[in-house]
Amino acid sequence: MVKRSTVDMANLIAQNFYDFREYYVNIPGAKIDRSDQMTLIETGIPSSSWNAILSKNSQTNQELQDRFPEIESFYRFSCTCWIGPEQNRKTLEDVLQSQGFRAMGTTAAMALQISKVKELSYPNPEIKIVSVRSIRELEFYLSVLKKSFSMPQYAIDKLYGMFSRFHIEDSPVFYHYLGFLGSKAVGCASLFVTGESIGIYYVGTLPEYRGRGVGKMMTQYCLKKAREMDFSYAVLRASAFGEPIYRQLGFREYGQFCQYNRIIHPVYQLRWKAGYYFKLVLDKFTGDAIWFS
């Protein structure tokens, strides 16, 4: 097997993340604008982290300057510009700040050569992990995801619309997993397939079940499934909380993702959210709401 350099691995991680973000165009009502330098994605979710500007090479800073009025009109809501581990952060930082973006921190870009994982032991044999194969299991999955990451209901509605529009069991791109303790769904994780890497996303545990190794087990199970699918590399974007666990499993850091947020039309966003929740309450009483609890 060819040994990859740090630069190559950074590109592998970034490409998986970019493809993962671009998949959000499948959210009902989402829109996308691609160029060689960057991709714009607007999901219709009024939260900056869901609406992305993806920086893809060193020319992005010039395009961002040239097209900023057009870019600004593209987004109804706040957005986030992501700079991947293969990029020089300084090439974009000054441009972003001059256009009203502010730095929101960094997360580790990590990868693992799956063939080097010799053993996948599970610390809690009472937890059973299953593949999501039905709409009902998807609802359980989204319920755990919502509570694990404190996601608003409007984001969960959009994800339900995206995942349920395709045949869940036969999806060639996304694979979802649920962790059960008895009959209680307590953990979740997903695999996202692109090129020669497989990305691990949405690793979550219900707050009251944290500290029992659920997240570690979900990640190990994802690695097991990735090995069964003959992928060479697993990649992920690690939170500060999850990074030590991933290092224990053998993941290495190959740079960082930098996040810059810009708040667009804050009053409009507040009005949209107020209208959404008002309608949700009405739908709850009429029985028309999709409500995962």
Mean pLDDT by 10 residues, the chain (293 residues): 59 94 93 91 92 84 86 91 87 88 94 82 80 92 96 93 76 89 94 90 96 91 92 93 91 95 74 65 58 46
Place of tokens 């890497």: 197
Give the ranges where the chain is alpha helix by DSSP (H). Answer: 6-22, 60-66, 68-74, 90-98, 135-149, 153-164, 214-228, 243-248, 266-286
- pLDDT at position 123 is 64
106 with 256: CB under 8 angstroms? yes
Q: Would you state the pLDDT for residue 1?
A: 36
pLDDT of residue 277: 64
| Domain boundaries of the chain, sorted by first residue | 6-109+258-286, 113-254
Rounded to whole angstroms, how far apart are CA atoms 17 and 234? 12
Number of DSSP helices (H) and strands (E) in the chain, helices first: 9, 11
Q: What is the pLDDT of residue 2?
A: 39
Residue given tokens 């991947």 in the structure block = 84
Kindly tell me the sign of the dihedral angle through the C-alpha atoms of 146, 149, 154, 159: negative
Architecture field, domain 113-254 = 3-Layer(aba) Sandwich (3.40)
Predicted local confidence at residue 55, as pLDDT = 86
The predicted pLDDT at position 5 comes to 54
